[in-house]
Chain A
């Protein structure tokens, strides 16, 4: 009997003490269709600057979770003339892409590859969810804003010309077609996600025809959704209201430029662009990247010290997993990330900590694998009461055995680098179809 209690004790002691954030796993079982477990291929564009660092983080976590996702990696740099053909083909084939930032050079010559990708694949809606993360203290509370931004036209048409030397005209194009579909997407999003209000952001008192057209489209679509409140706000007042009373906003639909600014402001008030998830979606394809400020590739110091914040891209990849119909994996990933942020021990510089990307990734991997047994800290048992040490002995010997047989689930960095085999080989229960 003492032997049994020993193993019971060890199991009890092996489970980590309940953290203050009781991360409730969702208790709904998803019933997949037969064949849904087939691994999906996703195009991966690491990008420039901190891009490779954070996409590497996503790859590691996906592997640790054994998610049925397989990445096709393509090297694209921001200073290329255009996105390589093969990348576009790959995205058209896979329908889903995950990317880091591409640094667009300031000044003439090269147009933005981020923009080019969105236009070619007609990915017309960009979505950023700016929400207070529990455990992350910010100056603003009760922030839960989704910014839906038109992605293809507006000020970003890229049509500029120099009329005479010293005078430049830049065209802002607004069409009914694009305004209508982004409005429809916004209301559909609100309807599907049980959101109560959609706010259109505009500057139609000055740009009467252009933003007026945008507003008309929004109003028409609003009539089809009588249960959702619709209102309009001028963009300068909007910026001010965002920093004064952000709780009044729910879903915001905006043209291209205003959406960029509003999304960045909203991300800033809710905790920073390093943690907000987001994605771009079109009728046929979807690209997931860091929510706001997606073209931001960090500064050189961040790249050298490897201290970029991987949270935003990890949460966006959770959105991607849902998009690919793997909701359980998405839930596990999100819960793990939120737990790590809540505990507050592993935070990168932009959240006030000093960890490297790798440390955050390790913490998340640990949190996401519920069957991993963490090693206990020394000094946790009462020296005067030998009974408390019994459980630990069992754990130590078990851990020692695991190491010998090489079956341990938690790896060191060197081990991880060694077995950089294709993930396919590790999955025994999935088959390619």
Chain B
């Protein structure tokens, strides 16, 4: 009996002694057969992409998570997505990717955007929140930015009317606006969020953003317990840096969502730590939350000190999506412990560890 109580005591000591981060004490009851390993398409990408996706692979292996990866070699300067890639994703339904570097200038269109359009991943979600132990200039930040992913300014329809004059089309449809609004309210409802804010510039772009706002207002009527308000995007940017605690869930069209997500990620600790993903009716692609197309600088790649935290937290979201919640909890707890302890931090968080050191710390902290 004393042997039992000894091991019990040891377990208790272990859980509470690690920087106060508690493991969740809920037991999940899986269905028979849920433990079967799931294949996930993996796109390492360019720049720091291979480094951080490799970090995820290592951690998954260490956890013995029932996930195995099918890697595909894609680079940002390819003309179009490779043959087997789309089929693989359609089969697996889930994909994890690093960034694809889109060349600036004419010629090649963005493969990140192509992927989202082909798979109709219409919602992009970034959760920007203060991590315990990571000091930032803003407190009480917990914002989820839900951004329409397929239309808007990113339609890619441009033409040169006469030499020296270019027109770029921003397309807003009721269909897309409605479904992103529905997704945002549904997200708020399922995650016990109190407020949804629509970000727009309808005083200038009256028809386009006006249509977006109408759709949001209609959906808001169906969720009377969730507060709904609207904010013009320039005021929004200013409020984000002045009083970020007023925002909860934000639903935005494509371009504003990009900017708002990056700003919110920046105030909460940086794009190196915020998790996020893209989801559609049938498929989901998980990548670094904000600034997903960012492939880092050459020095980051050489010195191998890219921050793997964002992709690790996104892969925890992926594990939940695949119905493996206890693995997701373990991974998140471990990552948060490593950040709270503050000993292993990459350059963007103020430390000087390499990616590998952070990964080793995360693996060591897994229970």
For B179, what are the chain A residues with a Cβ–Cβ distance below 8 Å? none
The answer to whether A166 touches B175, judged by C-beta atoms less than 8 angstroms apart, is yes
Interface magnitude class on chain B: 35 or more
Does B202 touch A at the CB level, under 8 Å? yes
Query: In this assembly, does B361 line the interface, its C-beta being within 8 Å of a C-beta of chain A?
Result: no
Counting chain A residues whose Cβ lies within 8 A of the other chain, the interface size class is 35 or more
Closest CB-CB distance, A372 to chain B, in whole Å?
35
A134 at the interface (CB under 8 A from B): no
CB atoms of A264 and B110 under 8 A apart = no
Best-buried of B113, B164, B233, B238 by chain A (most CB within 10 Å):
B238
CB-CB under 8 A for A205 and B166, given A160-B205, A240-B262, A268-B240 = no
- A2 to nearest B CB, angstroms? 58
Distance (whole angstroms) from the CB of B366 to the closest CB of chain A:
30
Q: Which residue of A lies closest to B293 (CB)?
A: A205
Cα distance, A209 to B104, chains bound together (Å): 10
Flag the segment in A35-43, A55-63, A99-107, A387-395 that touches B: A99-107
Chain B residues 152-167 with CB under 8 Å of chain A are 153-154, 156, 158-160, 164-167
- What is the bound-complex CA distance between A99 and B98, given in angstroms? 49
Q: Does A409 contact B (CB under 8 A)?
A: no
Q: Does A241 contact B (CB under 8 A)?
A: yes
Is A50's beta carbon under 8 Å from chain B? Answer: no
Check B203 against A104 for contact (C-beta < 8 Å). Answer: yes
Inside 8 A of B103's CB, which chain A residues have their CB?
Answer: 205
Closest beta carbon of chain B to A75's beta carbon, Å: 21
Name, among A156, A175, A243, A261, the residue most crowded by chain B CB atoms within 10 Å (CB to CB).
A243
Q: Mark B277-299, 1 if CB is under 8 A from A, else 0.
A: 00000000000001101100000
In the complex, number of A-B residue pairs with CB atoms less than 8 Å apart: 194
Type the 1/0 row for B117-152, where 1 means its CB is closer than 8 Å to any CB of A: 000000000000000000001100000000000000
Contacts of A169 in B (CB 8 A): 169-171, 208
Stretch from A3-11, A292-300, A317-325 contacting the other chain: A292-300
Within 8 Å by CB of B166, from A174, A260, A295, lies: A174
Scan residues 261-298 of chain A and give those whose CB is less than 8 A from a CB of chain B.
261, 263-265, 267-269, 272-273, 292-293, 295-296
When distances are taken between beta carbons in the complex, the residues of chain B under 8 Å from A106 are 202-203, 206, 210, 213
From A231-239, A359-367, A376-384, A413-421, the one touching the partner chain is: A231-239
Apart from A167-B171, A206-B102: 5 A-B pairs, beta carbons within 8 A: A112-B203, A175-B164, A206-B110, A209-B159, A241-B266
The 9 closest A-B pairs by CB, nearest first: A176-B164, A166-B174, A268-B238, A240-B266, A139-B137, A268-B241, A170-B208, A243-B266, A210-B168
Q: Hey, which bits of chain A sit against chain B, CB under 8 A?
A: 104-109, 111-112, 115, 139-140, 155-156, 158, 160-162, 165-177, 203-210, 212-213, 215, 235-237, 239-244, 257, 260-261, 263-265, 267-269, 272-273, 292-293, 295-296
